[in-house]
A and B are shown apart, each in its own frame.
Chain A
Amino acid sequence: MITIRISDLGKRYGATTALDSLNLQIGLGVTGLLGPNGAGKTTLLRCLATALAPDAGRLSILGLDPFVAAQRTQLRRRLGYLPQDPGLYPNFTAYDLLDYIAVLKELTDRQRRQAEVRRVLAEVGLADRAKTKVRKLSGGMRQRLGLAQALLGEPDLLILDEPTVGLDPEQRMLFRALISRLGETRTVLLSTHQTEDVSALCERVVVLSGGRSVFDGTPRELAELASGKVWLSAGPAPTGVYWRNAEGEYRTLGDRPVQGEPTPPSIEDGYLTLMGSDAAGVVR
């Protein structure tokens, strides 16, 4: 089921084109946005979250048109947004902060608001940190609090800009479990630099470059772009991208090195094949 339709979407910042006649359709489940820095990921997410007005094009999100003021407000009632830099007020306690954002989300009835704050705190595992000030929370806890605020009001659409950045492996795993569960019943759109997140979470992946979509498919399809181009060998390859893995073998993406054995490609291999020298910024 398609929940987001993007047609010829454009956005410029002065002479820089952030989104260049972008066309995309996104459905229920978790969709990942990949792309190098400056590809337009954050601009796209901000436009979809109604925090930024596009310059051109058409949008239909959950059947609503965000260019129309009344529909934009209706849409805001149904979306949760975690920006790249949430800027959570440092002197608020976790509970107070969520209570304040719940008011912004029109949960004006105090009892209902308190129940909702309790629910999202429990959902992200911060129920015992409700009285802790934001500045005293660890980076991972702050990120979880950021996700908690996005969950207020049980939104149908979740827009998460690099939600796993700065998390340690255990926290990232917990985060993935939570996002994956949320994606069972709603549309979750997340941007990331972590190809591991995409393979672990996303049913679908979109790669942006220069404000355009250059790939739209499943993580497996992205990986298959490098099919027949990934090799393991004892020595370094004369050409292509290669690195030495933990077993001491050389993993090469490109032409077959001497005595190279083919190996299944990863999403990162597919991404590197797709983007070539523009791939800077994606880390393993």
Chain B
Amino acid sequence: MTDWHVNPELLLDYEQGALDPSRVMAVDAHLQHCPRCRSTVRVDMRWLDDSWAVIYDGVHTHQPKGAERLLRRAGLPEHRARLLTATSALRWSWLGATTAVLTFAVVAANTGAAGARLALLIFLMVAPVLPVLAVATAYGPPFDPMHEITSATPMAGPSLVLWRAAAVVAASMAVGAVAAALLPGPGWWAVAWLLPALLLSVGSLALATVTTLPLGATLLGGAWLAGVGAVAAAVPGGQAREVIFGPSAQTGYLIAVIAAGGLLAVRRRRLDPGESR
């Protein structure tokens, strides 16, 4: 309520349509909150409310930026893009950190012949872990402070987890693919990390049906680094790359991806915080 009221002459001009638009809007705004002035003038309150609602929404509505704009341009519905870009791993800070790590590996691989082979191996070992780290932060505590509220909404559960995981894996892999293209040397080594990355990501989600997503991702990412590190230390020279990323290993990764995907499909309901484990 206000003590100030529109003077009668101004109200008369308003009623007769004799005011300029800015003054009309000022009177509109006042009428919305002043029953006394409303009672002295003929006004369609429903029209007035609707008009102001449009203005209010226009002023306050979220303006899509960055990743959200990209997702919408890619054809994703507006509400879906909203959901995905609230994920921390789709923010520029995260993508920037991923880019920095991969840039470092690419620069190292391009400097000097002696260290290049080792740097390439390190790149191939580290690149699959980056999407997994993103998956770990995609859903649930401690990375989503609003997880408790999210858990009690109808979108909670497997659908949201998988959408967000897919988005962050896609974003991380896109950055990784650009980095891989800049690697020295030929051929298919540039994409040799993709299947391991997919395996670790899908495997982390499958593990999240028995434990938390961050723990599942950490366990699997850690196991990968420890395993390939041990192989690299045990196998001499350039053979380590062949053992870890060669055709036989890739076949094994593919089989494991299919197995993890199957397990995830069967147990996906357990990604819902309200589901008994």
A81 at the B interface (CB under 8 A)? yes
Q: Is the CB of A88 within 8 A of B155?
A: no
Assembly CA distance A55 to B79 (angstroms): 34
B148 at the A interface (CB under 8 A)? yes
B28 at the A interface (CB under 8 A)? no
Interface string of B40-76 (1 = CB under 8 A from A): 0000000000000100110111100000000000000
Known: A72-B274, A93-B60, A95-B62. A104 touches B78 (CB 8 A): no
B244 → chain A closest CB, angstroms? 39
Known: A99-B82, A100-B82, A114-B61. A50 touches B146 (CB 8 A): no
Q: Which residue of B lies closest to A152 (CB)?
A: B153
A243 at the B interface (CB under 8 A)? no
Assembly CA distance A127 to B86 (angstroms): 23
Contact of A103 among B53, B79, B275 (CB under 8 A): B79
Interface size bracket, B side: 35 or more
Chain A residues, CB < 8 A from B86: 89, 100
Q: Is the CB of A110 within 8 A of B153?
A: no
B154 at the A interface (CB under 8 A)? yes
A96 at the B interface (CB under 8 A)? yes
Tell me whether chain B's interface is mostly helix, strand or loop, or mixed.
loop
Assembly CA distance A81 to B148 (angstroms): 9
Known: A103-B79, A118-B56. A76 touches B152 (CB 8 A): yes
Q: Count A-side interface residues using an 8 Å CB cutoff.
A: 44
A246 at the B interface (CB under 8 A)? no
Known: A53-B275, A108-B77. A101 touches B149 (CB 8 A): yes
Assembly CA distance A83 to B263 (angstroms): 32
Assembly CA distance A53 to B156 (angstroms): 13
B7 at the A interface (CB under 8 A)? no
Q: Is the CB of B83 within 8 A of A104?
A: yes
Assembly CA distance A206 to B178 (angstroms): 60
Q: Can you list 19 A-B contacts (CB < 8 A)?
A: A51-B148, A52-B151, A52-B274, A53-B274, A53-B276, A81-B148, A81-B149, A81-B152, A85-B148, A100-B86, A103-B83, A104-B149, A104-B155, A105-B154, A108-B77, A110-B79, A118-B53, A149-B149, A159-B152
